[in-house]
Homo-oligomer: A and B are copies of this chain.
């Protein structure tokens, strides 16, 4: 079956800062303060990006006193990985499958 890749999810992950956030969260669960320190970006900027990631289902939030922890959702990335793997596998057999010139 050919489940094409989700464009919206790709657009979400195609941003440098968002991908940076995702990479950081892949190592450990962090709160915004940590991300500000790690990336050097402004708090407002990060908050906006985290909102995008949250709405796209890439991250989950967990309030903890004053802080809010952000946790990465592995299923989301795993699904994307599977779709690209499937696409790559399909491409291997498509190489010799030329459609005739019109």
| A positions within 8 Å CB-CB of B | 2, 4-5, 7, 10-11, 13-16, 19, 22-23, 25-31, 33-34, 37, 64-67, 69, 71-78, 80-85, 87-92, 94-99, 101-102
Contact = CB atoms under 8 A, between A and B. Distances in A.
Nearest to A12: B14
A65 to B, nearest CB: 7
Given A25-B91, A74-B89, 6 more contacts: A29-B94, A30-B99, A33-B102, A66-B101, A72-B94, A81-B85
Contacts of A91: 25-26, 72-74, 77
A26 B94 contact: yes
List of 8 A-B pairs having minimum Cβ-Cβ separation, nearest first: A14-B14, A81-B84, A77-B88, A81-B85, A78-B88, A72-B91, A10-B14, A74-B91
